[in-house]
């Protein structure tokens, strides 16, 4: 157990915890754009279901990222959709260091996969996460630094018209560069709610409000929390207790696909 904790700490030391978000264009300053906050919750679908029931009871349009081909992938996807929240795929991708295969699950994208292989793996993953409205990265600190592989990920997203969220699991992610080259909207995580494994209620609440203030400052923001061992009940309760405060700030809580559509409309308008 101590070895696992030490190894996790090593992995987390490579993760950027509070990055400044970047956009393809200065779309955050567009007129009449009400501040928007997307709250994405990772790690649905796995064995550890702590926080799932509480998270799904929150009266807000959360975006729930479900890991594919696991014991609760299908049942969680159906429950998320039934309660009116958005389902996206939490797509496993290879890390920049060697990890146990079990951490990824049965389906994950490897650095150096061909375009055909990337498409095949995402399509396979989507079969166990029905009605997904987009996808983001699970682990992926290696793939997000591989320009060719990330290019194929964006090719899939653009071909299927699905928003892709760079979870920014490594400070050297080149996803924004790839999005710019492909002339598509870049969505990047602004704030993790449980950085360095700190999933205390007060800690999570603090990072929620950091994200809310970023949304006010630049027009929109994306925050990521977790169910299961990396977040669970504390994260769910902190989000529940923050909803009214966020709304009272004049911020609209939106799903990832709503954010993408709104930003994409502004992007197209500014391009014309």
Q: For 154-188, what is each residue's pLDDT tens digit? A: 999 999 999 999 999 999 999 999 999 999 999 99
Task: Tell me how far apart the terminal alpha carbons of the chain are, to the nearest angstrom.
Answer: 56
* Range from 2-11, 29-38, 187-196, 257-266 carrying the lowest mean pLDDT: 2-11
What is the pLDDT at residue 265? 83
E strands present in the chain:
36-44, 63-66, 86-93, 135-139, 164-166, 187-188, 191-192, 220-226, 252-254
Which DSSP state fits 161? T
Q: What is the mean pLDDT of residues 8-13?
A: 38
CATH at 124: 3.20.20.370
Which residue range(s) make up the domain with 77?
Answer: 2-271
Work out how many domains the chain is built from and give that number: 1
Q: What is the mean pLDDT of residues 48-65?
A: 98
Task: Determine what percent of the chain is predicted with pLDDT higher than 90.
Answer: 84
Q: For 11-27, what is each residue's pLDDT tens digit? A: 433 343 334 333 444 44
Please determine, for residue 98, whether its predicted confidence score (pLDDT) is greater than 60: yes
pTM score: 0.89
What is the pLDDT at residue 267? 58
* Cβ burial, residue 186 (10 Å; 0-12/13-18/19+): buried
CA dist 193 → 56, 57, 86, 96, 215 (Å)? 17, 19, 19, 23, 15
Please provide the average confidence, as pLDDT, over all residues in the chain.
89
Please determine, for residue 28, whether its predicted confidence score (pLDDT) is greater than 80: no
Please determine, for residue 6, whether its predicted confidence score (pLDDT) is greater than 90: no
């Amino acid at each position: 157990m101590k070895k696992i904790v030490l190894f996790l700490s090593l992995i987390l030391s490579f993760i950027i915890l509070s990055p400044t978000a970047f956009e393809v264009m200065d779309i955050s300053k567009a007129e009449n754009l009400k501040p928007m906050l997307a709250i994405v919750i990772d790690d649905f679908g796995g064995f550890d279901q702590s926080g799932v029931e509480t998270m799904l009871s929150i009266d807000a349009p959360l975006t729930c990222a479900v890991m594919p081909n696991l014991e609760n992938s299908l049942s969680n996807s159906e429950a998320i959709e039934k309660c009116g929240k958005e389902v996206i795929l939490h797509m496993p991708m290879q890390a920049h260091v060697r990890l146990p295969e079990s951490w990824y699950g049965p389906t994950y994208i490897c650095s150096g996969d061909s375009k055909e292989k990337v498409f095949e793996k995402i399509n396979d993953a989507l079969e166990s996460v029905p009605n997904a409205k987009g996808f983001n990265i699970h682990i992926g600190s290696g793939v997000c630094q591989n320009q060719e592989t990330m290019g194929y990920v964006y090719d899939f997203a653009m071909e299927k018209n699905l928003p892709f969220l760079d979870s920014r699991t490594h400070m050297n992610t080149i996803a924004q560069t790839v999005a710019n080259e492909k002339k598509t909207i870049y969505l990047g995580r602004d704030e993790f709610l449980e950085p360095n494994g700190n999933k205390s209620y007060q800690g999570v609440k603090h990072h929620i409000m950091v994200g809310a203030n970023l949304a006010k400052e630049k027009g929109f923001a994306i925050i990521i929390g977790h169910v299961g061992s990396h977040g669970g009940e504390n994260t769910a309760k902190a989000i529940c207790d923050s909803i009214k405060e966020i709304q009272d700030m004049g911020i609209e809580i939106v799903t990832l696909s709503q954010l993408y559509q709104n930003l994409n409309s502004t992007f197209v308008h500014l391009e014309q």
